Amino acid sequence: MSAGTLIARVVPPGMLAPRRARYLIERNLIVYRRIWMIVFSGFFEPVFYLFSIGVGIGRLVGEVSSTGGEPAVGYAMFVAPGLLAASAMNGAIYESTINIFSKLRYAKTYDAILATPVGPFDIAVGEIVWSQLRGLLYASGFLVVMAVMGLVASPLGLLALPGALLIGFAFGAVGMAATTFMRGWQDFDMVQLVVLPLFLFSATFFPLDVYPEAVRPFVQLSPLYHGVSLLRSLTLGALDASILGHVAYLVVMGVAGLAVASRRLERLLRA
């Protein structure tokens, strides 16, 4: 069996050249141009958390130990990159679940799109990239707030934006894959049931060593933990070899989600 034949069997049709995905992105830009305030609304939630928990409780907590053996930092500086990662996650999850479900099950947007040369994989790539951009929008605004408040300790903090894109890719792809299995709006209770514990128990608000030793491996399995650790390392300038593991985890998660989402769309839309 040749390498080309093997790739054709494993990779979904169109995966190697999703050239038409940009049409989905252009469509979403046109639609959201009319409702741009809804897009920006998700930016405020992590900012409120930063002021209430990071700054408010931070005055009571004082300093906490950061990652990579670096000196202790103020609590607000410790929490801020965690909220930055959560902001990218929330933007991607919201876009890749509720909005895609509406287009898939009710508006029948994708059925109409398939009347054009755009295929299921193009749809998956386009929507996931759009969810990345929404997560990046939230993260960019939040990073500006962090910089103004003096919560970015290293010039490497600029790399938090590509990091946020990677988080958006991972969660957007998995969110879209999960959405293809949902049958009704009540299923979105499960999304909240997953997202809320991820937000609270992924070392977002506390260092990993605060958790009981038996619980730490479960925290480290959380995809948001890897996003939080990645952005925290960048904004604090505390880089070590573990950053490669965080990147690899998120890349694998995103690629797996994209593969499942495209296969499921192929089955649902071509049936």
Sign of the Cα pseudo-torsion (197, 202, 203, 204, in order): negative
Query: Tokens standing for 183?
Result: 């049958």
Burial 100-123 (b: 16+ CB within 10 A, else e): bbebbeeeebbeebbeeebbbbbb
pLDDT digits (tens, 9 = 90+) for 107-131: 888 888 888 888 888 898 999 998 8
* Contact assessment for residue 85 and residue 204, using Cβ atoms and an 8 Å cutoff: yes
* Contact assessment for residue 85 and residue 167, using Cβ atoms and an 8 Å cutoff: yes
Q: 1: which DSSP letter?
A: -
Phi, psi of 241 (to 5 degrees): -65, -20
pLDDT digits (tens, 9 = 90+) for 206-231: 888 888 999 999 999 999 999 999 99
Q: Could you tell me the pTM of the whole model? A: 0.86
- By CB neighbour count within 10 A (0-12 exposed, 13-18 middle, 19+ buried), where does 68 fall? middle
* Contact assessment for residue 20 and residue 118, using Cβ atoms and an 8 Å cutoff: yes
